[in-house]
Structure 1
Amino acid sequence: MSLSSRLYSCAVVIPCLNEELALPLVIKGLQTSLPQAQIWVYDNGSTDNTILVAKSLGAKVRSVPLKGKGYAILQAFADLSTDYLFIIDGDATYETAAAPRLLNLAMEQNLDMVTAIRRAIIDEKAYRFGHLFGNKVLTGLVRKFFSGLTPHDLLSGYRVFSKRFYKSFPCIISGFEIETYLTLHALTLAMPTGEMDTIYQERPSGSESKLRTYPDGLRILKAIIILIQRERPLFAYCWISLFIGFIGLILGLSLIPEYLTTGLVPRFPTAILSTALILFSLITATCGVLLHNIASLRRENIRLTYMQNHLDD
């Protein structure tokens, strides 16, 4: 471990729901690799012995009554104030031994977020094809629609943040889409970020995944669409405006030949619909411009909060 990693305070947050079998592996691994870090287990309503196991191993425990991984992480962001903060799932699939490398990278390059990339996979069962394919599709969407240092593992649940990152995070998210919002927070504020390959392995035998492949995948896709509309409204609304306007224009043009021949407007319903679509198209474009200005102001305000939290030299 680099000596520089001891200069700043550090905490690790483990959001948990019924992880009594896997949690000991995570806590013990972190105690070995990051002995100076505070370890916090944010329990999200476990009905097994997760809380007892965490306390017996010396971790601090906080219960979060609102259901959802996102709520647990948001509560940790509000509670803690260390210079650097890790999040890691409590299912023992991530490489706890990589924590010092992630932390050193963040400090040495002054990065606000470092993400553990799940590429070096020990067991194919750990990263099922459906999850891998879905992650690639969703990551590809973000890389396409958002500029900056684009991510390679959008849904990784193993990251380290600077204090100014997590104290400026403004969103309220309940579930597994939290990782998407964390990535987009860094991209929209043009924060310096990094990535590092880590080992990803299968859960311990007997423990069950809380990820529902299709429902949670659709929630994450919905989150990306909402973020595109919120963070890039000019792009989103202008494309919608062009589509609606094109339909209105086609309908209107179909009336012109007969009007030039007879001097009469045929098919009044079509004419009314064409006019309404073109007007709606103009209104949609105007909304895009207004929302673009609002989004810019909101980003500037978040940026001010971001700059108020910094590490002292």
Structure 2
Amino acid sequence: MKVAVLIPCYNEEITIGKVIDDFKRVMPEADIYVYDNNSKDKTSEIALEHGAIVKKEYRQGKGNVVRSMFRDIDADYYIMVDGDDTYPAEFAHKLLDPLIREEADMTIGDRLSNGTYYNENKRNFHDFGNNMVRWLINKLFKSNIKDIMTGYRGFNREFVKAMPVLSARFEIETEMSIHALDKKFLIKEVAIDYRDRPEGSESKLNTFSDGFKVLKTIFMLFKDYKPLLFFNIWTVFFLVVGLLVGVPVLVEFADTRYITKVPSAILAVGLVLLSMNTFACGVILDTVVKQQRFNYELYLNDLRDKYKK
């Protein structure tokens, strides 16, 4: 059984040595990979000194790092953790065990259930953003995931090799969660402790700009994964507005047999036609997505057969 610990890094010289040592202590059998994403400090040098396998990713952004990790590294099981020492290595086996027992394809390190995240995290807007993203995804995909944005996760080989990473930056956690939900991968959450960054270590997240990117990702993935529901919402919106604009025109015509509100009539007809077109787009794209899901299942079957051999 081959286990790989994946650590994406950008300017983590203060913490990376401890993170590597902690995982070597609790998982001595694992290969530890540090992917340096154009760090301007001594992250790579320190990682090498502590015995990690160091690789470079020159395209900036965590999503780009994860894409390269998933493509390059071959293992049976993977543990992904940030290099900022906020996630204790002692929980790695709790993330790994459900994968080995085939109870999960992806395990999620849930920072929120133990309450340590709210005690340790000093960025209140992050709490608000996490809660909003969690609510949106759970509503859209009828799930009950407690921690969508955590960077501490475990994967089996099938999930890693079948995960199409499209996001470039910190939206990657959201993308992985939605992909797993849509493709019916087994997900299991494991309650973990969380600790804030040590003094001198700075977060790379920008609450507002990165939060906007995450919301944009949810919006786009909602359109891609559930087009019928997405376009039906717009269908109802255009239809309701069209009726609101058009009803006075119809009332006037019923009373006088004449239309004086010509602009309103044109707008109402345009909105109703737009509503019909939007509904047709949703039906067509829903058919395309169902065919894509069918092909994806066949791809997973081929992937399983490949690794069994």
TM-score by length of structure 2 reads 0.94
How many aligned positions are there?
Answer: 305
Match of 2:107 in 1: 114
Choose the corresponding residue for 1:89, options 82, 90, 107. 82
Q: Deviations over 1:227-261 (max 9, x none)?
A: 11111111111111111111112222211232223
Displacement of 1:127 after TM fit? Answer: 5.2
Match of 2:238 in 1: 244
Equivalent positions of 1:226-237 (< 5 A) are 226-237=220-231
Quick one: which amino acid aligns to residue 202 of structure 1?
D
- Any stretches of 5+ residues in structure 2 without a counterpart? none
Choose the corresponding residue for 1:225, options 216, 219, 243. 219
The structure-2 alpha-carbon separation of the partners of 1:123 and 1:138, relative to structure 1 and needing over 3 Å to count, comes to: closer
Q: Deviations over 1:129-162 (max 9, x none)?
A: 22122111111110101034x3110000000111
Query: Residue 132 in 1 paired to residue 127 in 2?
Result: yes
Query: Residue 302 in 1 paired to residue 293 in 2?
Result: no
Distance in 1, matches of 2:14 and 2:301, equals 41
Q: Is the 8 A contact 2:4 2:33 kept in 1?
A: yes
Quick one: which amino acid aligns to residue 44 of structure 1?
N
Choose the corresponding residue for 2:262, options 255, 263, 268. 268
Choose the corresponding residue for 1:55, options 23, 48, 56. 48
The structure-2 alpha-carbon separation of the partners of 1:261 and 1:123, relative to structure 1 and needing over 3 Å to count, comes to: closer
Quick one: which amino acid aligns to residue 167 of structure 2?
I
Q: Is the 8 A contact 1:123 1:201 kept in 2?
A: no
Match of 2:63 in 1: 70
Distance in 2, matches of 1:41 and 1:136, equals 30
Equivalent positions of 1:198-213 (< 5 A) are 198-213=192-207
Match of 1:13 in 2: 6
Q: Is the 8 A contact 2:9 2:82 kept in 1?
A: yes
Distance in 1, matches of 2:118 and 2:265, equals 63
Distance in 2, matches of 1:108 and 1:184, equals 23
Quick one: which amino acid aligns to residue 126 of structure 2?
H
Q: Is the 8 A contact 1:235 1:288 kept in 2?
A: yes
TM-score by length of structure 1 reads 0.93
Displacement of 1:295 after TM fit? Answer: 1.6
Displacement of 1:122 after TM fit? Answer: 7.5
Distance in 2, matches of 1:312 and 1:127, equals 47
Choose the corresponding residue for 1:80, options 49, 67, 73. 73
Distance in 2, matches of 1:258 and 1:28, equals 79
Of all paired residues, the percent bearing the same amino acid is 35
Displacement of 1:182 after TM fit? Answer: 0.4
| Range moving further from structure 2, 283-292 or 102-111 | 102-111
Distance in 2, matches of 1:227 and 1:61, equals 32
Q: Is the 8 A contact 1:170 1:302 kept in 2?
A: no
User: Which secondary structure state, in structure 2, belongs to the residue aligned with residue 30 of structure 1?
Assistant: helix
Q: Is the 8 A contact 1:106 1:194 kept in 2?
A: no
Match of 2:159 in 1: 165
Quick one: which amino acid aligns to residue 151 of structure 2?
G
Quick one: which amino acid aligns to residue 178 of structure 2?
L
| Range moving further from structure 2, 180-189 or 247-256 | 247-256
- Any stretches of 5+ residues in structure 1 without a counterpart? 1-7
User: Which secondary structure state, in structure 1, belongs to the residue aligned with residue 217 of structure 2?
Assistant: helix
User: Which secondary structure state, in structure 1, belongs to the residue aligned with residue 104 of structure 2?
Assistant: coil
The Cα RMSD (Å) is 1.6
Distance in 2, matches of 1:261 and 1:56, equals 87
Q: Deviations over 1:284-303 (max 9, x none)?
A: 01001111111222222233
Match of 1:39 in 2: 32
Q: Deviations over 1:211-239 (max 9, x none)?
A: 11111111111111111111111111111
User: Which secondary structure state, in structure 2, belongs to the residue aligned with residue 151 of structure 1?
Assistant: coil
Match of 2:136 in 1: 141
The structure-2 alpha-carbon separation of the partners of 1:307 and 1:127, relative to structure 1 and needing over 3 Å to count, comes to: farther
Q: Is the 8 A contact 1:164 1:307 kept in 2?
A: no
Displacement of 1:29 after TM fit? Answer: 0.7
Displacement of 1:312 after TM fit? Answer: 4.2
Q: Deviations over 1:62-120 (max 9, x none)?
A: 10010001100110000012111111000000011111121112212431000001133
